[in-house]
């Protein structure tokens, strides 16, 4: 654990941040700056952390639990962009947006304990330790690159290819037995396809024995079939 001059409640935050790729190796004095005025808060399932358009005064470190970041389309459909687990940091990008507002909303999925870390403290730490600013810049650049690839994938791929890619991603995280983190309506929105199309594909693939399951619980029986659908669109970097 990093020995910093903090209250007992924030010592664990220093330990978690010290292991995070963005904050690893920070001097003690810079870690103290990062955690200035931070506080810990407990949440119940479905509680909101922030709403799209609100002033972005904090970013967040999850001690325990799970948080999803989402946005509503103009049609009112909810799209979940990311799900964050314990030890992960999120909304740090919003700390550097010129308009100073959250571009999305966030709510907890399970009982969660979350540290609120202050925007102003992060800015001071970046001025004091430019290596931290460079680390954040590299992370944001990688996220932009991933989003570019995601947009290209959504516009160029078919519905079966998108679903296959998503299932393979979940398989990589969970194994052949996959519990979908999104309900089918949310998943259809996430993949940019109609809910009816998603349901039809899952039914077809189950009939052919490629997958087995229902609702959120699925078992991948034919990995080669899913790989065949996605390999053509994979990039080398």
Q: What is the CATH classification number for the domain harbouring 214?
A: 1.10.10.10
DSSP per-residue letters across 10-56: HHHHHHHHHHSTTTTT--HHHHHHHTTT-EEEEE-TT-EEE-TTSB-
- For tokens 């870390």, what's the residue? 117
Summarize the confidence of residues 68-83 as an average pLDDT. 84
**Judgement on whether residues 105 and 13 belong to the same structural domain of the protein:** yes
CA dihedral 140, 143, 148, 154 (to 10 degrees): -150
Q: What is the token pair recorded at 19? A: 């292991």
**Judgement on whether residues 31 and 140 belong to the same structural domain of the protein:** yes
Is 221 a member of any domain?
A: yes
Q: Cβ(209)–Cβ(158) under 8 Å?
A: no
For residue 33, pLDDT beyond 90: yes
Number of domains in the chain: 2
Say what the pLDDT of residue 8 is.
65
Is 3 a member of any domain?
A: no
Is 180 a member of any domain?
A: yes
**Judgement on whether residues 174 and 228 belong to the same structural domain of the protein:** yes
Q: Full-prediction pTM beyond 0.85?
A: no
**Judgement on whether residues 140 and 168 belong to the same structural domain of the protein:** no
Model pLDDT for residues 91-116, shown as the tens digit of each residue: 999 999 999 999 999 999 999 999 99
Domain boundary among 152, 185, 201: 152
For residue 177, pLDDT beyond 80: yes
Say what the pLDDT of residue 99 is.
94
Say what the pLDDT of residue 237 is.
63
| Residue 90 structural domain | 8-152
């Amino acid at each position: 654990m990093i020995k910093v001059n903090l209250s007992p409640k924030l010592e664990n935050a220093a330990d978690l941040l010290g292991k995070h790729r963005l904050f690893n190796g920070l001097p003690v004095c810079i870690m103290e700056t990062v955690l200035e005025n931070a506080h810990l808060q407990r949440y119940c399932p479905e509680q909101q952390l922030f709403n799209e358009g609100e002033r972005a005064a904090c970013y967040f470190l999850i001690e325990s639990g799970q948080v999803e970041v989402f946005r509503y389309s103009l049609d009112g459909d909810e799209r979940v962009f990311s799900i964050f687990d314990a030890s992960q940091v999120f909304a740090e990008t919003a700390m550097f947006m010129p308009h100073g507002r959250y571009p999305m909303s966030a709510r907890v999925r399970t009982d969660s304990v979350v540290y609120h870390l202050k925007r102003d403290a992060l800015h001071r730490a970046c001025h004091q330790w430019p290596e931290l600013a460079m680390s954040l810049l590299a992370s944001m650049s990688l996220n932009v690159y991933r989003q570019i690839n995601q947009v290209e994938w959504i516009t160029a791929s078919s519905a079966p290819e998108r679903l296959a890619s998503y299932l393979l991603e979940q398989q990589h995280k969970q194994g052949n037995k996959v519990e979908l983190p999104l309900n089918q309506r949310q998943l259809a929105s996430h993949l940019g396809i109609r809910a009816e199309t998603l349901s039809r594909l899952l039914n077809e693939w189950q009939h052919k024995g490629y997958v087995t399951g229902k609702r959120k619980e699925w078992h991948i029986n034919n990995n080669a079939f899913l790989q065949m659908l996605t390999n053509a669109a994979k990039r080398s970097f």
